[in-house]
Structure 1
C-alpha cells in the first residue's frame, strides 16, 4: 500500500481521527541484496521508504555493523528526514521504542501526492506476484516437533529455490500450521538464510488432521506460476514426511 495515500484518505473520511506516525519496516538483511547486486530498489519499496516519518531497520541481529551502516546510508539517501530506529523481533532490540512511537506519538502530516504517483505505484504493484493457498494435511505416521519444522523448512526452501531458478525474486515465503492455541509459523526471505520459526507444536500422531496456509510473495513471476511452484514442491516434500495435502 501507499502510506501517504492511505493516511490522506483516512483524514478525509474521519476529521477527528488521531493517527500514529507513518512507520515503515525495513528488512536489513534483505535490502542489502539490492546494494550487493547493484539492482535498484523497486518503485514500491523506495516510495514506501520515502513516505515514512519513522524507518525501523529490522532484523539487525542478522547483519554486521558494517552492513547495518550501509543500510542506514541507503535509506537515508531515499528519505533523509525520517527518524531511524533499529529493531529485532528475535532479540527485542528497539521494541520498546517502537511501541512508544505507535502508542504515544502522532502523525505529523505529509505533503499531498499527485495522481501520477498513485498511478505509478499501482502499476508497480501489478508486477508483484502473490499466491496464498490453504490446505488440510493428514498425517500418516507420527511426527515430532522437529519433523514438523523440517517439513515446513523443506517446503519453503523448495519454493524459494524454484522461484529463483525461474528467474523470479523472493520477497517473502511463509507457512502457518495449526490454529491459534497451537501453531508453528515459518518464514523465509532469502534462500541463503535459515527459516525463522515462531510458535511450537510438540508433535502430531498418525491420523491427525491440521490446516496449513502457505503464502509466496515475489517479483517477476505471475500468480498462476507461483501456484504451480508451490504445488510441485508439495508433491516432492509430502511423501518424505508421510503427509497428504488436500487443497481447501
Structure 2
C-alpha cells in the first residue's frame, strides 16, 4: 500500500515523508520535483519556492501544469506499491487503497519552520509568514477550482490527521531538530498501525499516548482539527 502526505506550506510534510520512506524502505515521490520537471525548471526542490516562486506561480496560472501533475501522480500511484508521496492533492484524488495523512500546523509554527529550512535565501520571519500565506492561498484556490475541495478546512478524506504546531516553539535549528525527532515516531507508529489494520483498541491506545499529536486516526475524530489559520473547524 502507498502513503500520501499532505499539509500546508512548511507543515513538515517533505521532512516526514522522506523520513518515513527511509524507515519503511519505501520509495519516495515529491510532487514539487514532478512539477519542476513539468515546468522544465532546473532548481532543487528545496530551493524552488524561495528562489523561483514568482516564475513557478506564473507558469501554473492557467492550471494546465497542475492538471498534468495530478495526472502523473495518479499514474504513479496506480503503478507502484510501497511508495510515500509528498503532495497536495493526491490524498484526495487517488482511489483506495492508500493511507492518506494530513499534517496540521498553525501559521506561526509554519513561519518558523520556513525560516529554519532556508538554505540560500535569507527571508525574515514576517517574510516567511507572508510567503506561506500567499502560496497556500494560491494552492487553495487552484484545488478548489479544479478539484472542488478546500485545502484549509476539508479533512474528511484523511485517515490520519496529525498536529506538530506545538513542537517547534522557536525559529532555530536545534528546536526544529528536536521537534522532528519527537514527531517522527508518532508519524511512523500511526502509519504502521493503519498499514497493519490493527484492532480498534490499538488506535485508541495511540490516541491516548499521543493526545497532542493525533487529531484523527482511522477516520475517527478525537478532537476538533483546525483550519489554515489555526482555528477550530465547525
Task: Normalising by structure 1, report the TM-score.
Answer: 0.23
More strand by share: 1
Larger radius of gyration: 1
Structure showing greater relative contact order (alpha-carbon pairs closer than 8 Å, 6 or more residues apart): 2
